[in-house]
Structure 1
Amino acid sequence: MANNYRMVAKTLFGFEEVLAGELRRLGAIEVENGVRSVSFSGDKGFMYKANLCLRTALKIVKPLRSFKVRNEDDLYDGVKKIRWEDIMRVDSTLAVDAVVHSEKFNHSLYVALKTKDAVVDRFRELKGKRPDVDLKHPDLRINVHIQKDICTISLDSSGSSLHHRGYRTATNIAPINEVLAAGMLLLSGWDGQCDFLDPMCGSGTLPIEAAMIACNIPANINRREFAFEKWIDFDLDLFEKVTESSLNKVREFHHKILAFDKAPSAVRKASDNVRNANLGAYVQVSQQDFFKTEKQGEDKLHMVFNPPYGERLAVDMQDFYGNIGNTLKQEYPGTEAWLITSDMEALKYVGLRPSRKIKLFNGRLESRLVKYEMYAGSKKAKWQPRE
Structure 2
Amino acid sequence: MENFKMVAKTLFGFEEVLAKELLQLGAQKIEQGTRMVSFIGDKGFMYKANLALRTALKILKPIKTFKAYNDKSLYDGIQKIDWSEYLTEYKTFVVETTLHSEHFNHSQFVALKTKDAIVDQFRDATGKRPNIDKDFPDLRIHIHIDRDMVTVSLDTSGESLHKRGYKTATNIAPINEVLAAGMLLLSGWDGNSHFLDPMCGSGTILAEAAMIACNIPANINRKEFAFEKWQDWDSELFDKVLESLLKKTREFHYTITGYDKAPSAVAKAKDNIRNANLDEYISIRQANFFDTEKMTEGPLHIVFNPPYGERLDIEMERFYREIGDTMKQKYPNTNAWFITANLEALKFVGLKPSRKIKLFNGKLEARFVKYEMYAGSKRAKFQTDTNY
- The interval holding the TM-score normalised by the smaller chain is over 0.9
Alignment-derived partner of residue 288 in structure 2: 289
Tell me the distance in 1 between the aligned counterparts of 2:60 and 2:339: 29
Alignment-derived partner of residue 216 in structure 2: 217
Tell me the distance in 2 between the aligned counterparts of 1:303 and 1:3: 43
Alignment-derived partner of residue 263 in structure 1: 262
Tell me the distance in 2 between the aligned counterparts of 1:21 and 1:135: 34
Alignment-derived partner of residue 192 in structure 1: 191
Alignment-derived partner of residue 96 in structure 1: 95
Tell me the distance in 2 between the aligned counterparts of 1:112 and 1:106: 11
Structure 2 unaligned residues grouped into runs of 5+? none
> What is the DSSP-based 3-state SS (H/G/I as helix, E as strand, rest coil) of the residue aligned with 1:119?
helix
* 1:323-369 Cα shifts (integer Å, max 9, x gaps): 00000000000010000000000000101000000000000000000
Alignment-derived partner of residue 334 in structure 1: 333
Q: Verify the 8 A CA contact 2:194 2:296 in the aligned structure 1.
A: no
Alignment-derived partner of residue 231 in structure 2: 232
Alignment-derived partner of residue 300 in structure 1: 299
The 5-angstrom pairing of residues 301-380 of structure 1 reads 301-380=300-379
Q: Does 1:381 find its partner at 2:377?
A: no
**Residue identity matched to 2:333:** G
Alignment-derived partner of residue 202 in structure 2: 203
Alignment-derived partner of residue 37 in structure 1: 36
**Residue identity matched to 2:124:** E
TM-score normalised by structure 1 residue count: 0.99
Q: Verify the 8 A CA contact 2:305 2:340 in the aligned structure 1.
A: yes
1:63 deviates by 0.1
* 1:13-55 Cα shifts (integer Å, max 9, x gaps): 0000000000000000000001100000000000000000000
* Identical aligned residues as a percent: 66
The 5-angstrom pairing of residues 148-167 of structure 1 reads 148-167=147-166
**Runs of 4 or more consecutive aligned structure 1 residues displaced over 2 Å after TM superposition:** 383-387
> What is the DSSP-based 3-state SS (H/G/I as helix, E as strand, rest coil) of the residue aligned with 2:386?
coil
Tell me the distance in 2 between the aligned counterparts of 1:347 and 1:120: 55
Alignment-derived partner of residue 252 in structure 1: 251
Tell me the distance in 2 between the aligned counterparts of 1:386 and 1:268: 49
**Residue identity matched to 1:357:** K
**Residue identity matched to 2:386:** P
RMSD, aligned CA: 0.8
**Residue identity matched to 2:58:** K
> What is the DSSP-based 3-state SS (H/G/I as helix, E as strand, rest coil) of the residue aligned with 2:118?
helix
**Residue identity matched to 2:11:** L
Structure 1 unaligned residues grouped into runs of 5+? none
Alignment-derived partner of residue 62 in structure 1: 61
**Residue identity matched to 2:311:** R
Alignment-derived partner of residue 241 in structure 2: 242
TM-score normalised by structure 2 residue count: 0.99
1:134 deviates by 0.2
> What is the DSSP-based 3-state SS (H/G/I as helix, E as strand, rest coil) of the residue aligned with 1:344?
coil
Q: Verify the 8 A CA contact 1:298 1:334 in the aligned structure 2.
A: no
Tell me the distance in 2 between the aligned counterparts of 1:152 and 1:44: 20
Tell me the distance in 2 between the aligned counterparts of 1:130 and 1:364: 39
**Residue identity matched to 1:309:** Y
Tell me the distance in 1 between the aligned counterparts of 2:50 and 2:341: 30
* 1:80-128 Cα shifts (integer Å, max 9, x gaps): 1100011111101000000000011101111111111111110101111
**Residue identity matched to 1:385:** T
> What is the DSSP-based 3-state SS (H/G/I as helix, E as strand, rest coil) of the residue aligned with 2:301?
strand
Alignment-derived partner of residue 137 in structure 2: 138
Tell me the distance in 2 between the aligned counterparts of 1:270 and 1:50: 27
Q: Verify the 8 A CA contact 2:213 2:252 in the aligned structure 1.
A: yes
* 1:169-206 Cα shifts (integer Å, max 9, x gaps): 00000000000000000000000000000000000000
Q: Verify the 8 A CA contact 1:333 1:374 in the aligned structure 2.
A: yes
Tell me the distance in 1 between the aligned counterparts of 2:126 and 2:327: 68
Paired residue total: 386
Tell me the distance in 1 between the aligned counterparts of 2:218 and 2:118: 34
Q: Could you say if the C-alpha distance between residues 386 and 300 of structure 1 is closer, same or farther in structure 2, counting changes exceeding 3 Å?
A: closer
1:220 deviates by 0.2
Tell me the distance in 1 between the aligned counterparts of 2:287 and 2:108: 48
Tell me the distance in 1 between the aligned counterparts of 2:327 and 2:166: 31
Q: Verify the 8 A CA contact 2:144 2:150 in the aligned structure 1.
A: yes
Tell me the distance in 1 between the aligned counterparts of 2:313 and 2:249: 40
Tell me the distance in 1 between the aligned counterparts of 2:115 and 2:275: 38
Alignment-derived partner of residue 79 in structure 1: 78
1:386 deviates by 5.6
Tell me the distance in 2 between the aligned counterparts of 1:297 and 1:184: 23
1:297 deviates by 3.1
**Residue identity matched to 2:289:** F
Tell me the distance in 2 between the aligned counterparts of 1:112 and 1:320: 47
1:379 deviates by 1.5
Alignment-derived partner of residue 172 in structure 1: 171
Tell me the distance in 2 between the aligned counterparts of 1:297 and 1:198: 14
Tell me the distance in 1 between the aligned counterparts of 2:171 and 2:291: 22
